[in-house]
Structure 1
């Protein structure tokens, strides 16, 4: 079994209204000095595959087809 963590974030230059709302909420809770917030999402995957290169290719395909909107989002894959 191969485990991987996919992190998806907005590309630079793409507006992040949720990040802006989080920054405002942090400020209203008294957390001053937060200059910028960008939000994203994380997917933890377990692949029942023994061939690591096949698993890497499959996870990349998952990102390209479903997990990330590659027009406005970047993704990174980290394997355990």
Structure 2
């Protein structure tokens, strides 16, 4: 999981994903809607023998919601 402070952070991270080429604009995923946010990759299979990593983003509201859920279950 990576913390993105700005678009440059995101571009560096996404350039390293499997099946993505930012330089040639090949299979570039959608950019996060706002920063800061966390990003992590999941593996997508499109057809036999072809896989690519796709990003998922966690925003501050998502992290707060997860923390509230976890704290509610602990108590």
TM-score where L is the length of structure 2: 0.26
Task: Between the two structures, name the one with larger relative contact order (CA 8 Å, sep ≥ 6).
Answer: 1
TM-score where L is the length of structure 1: 0.25
Structure that is richer in helix per residue: 1
Greater Rg, structure 1 or structure 2? 1
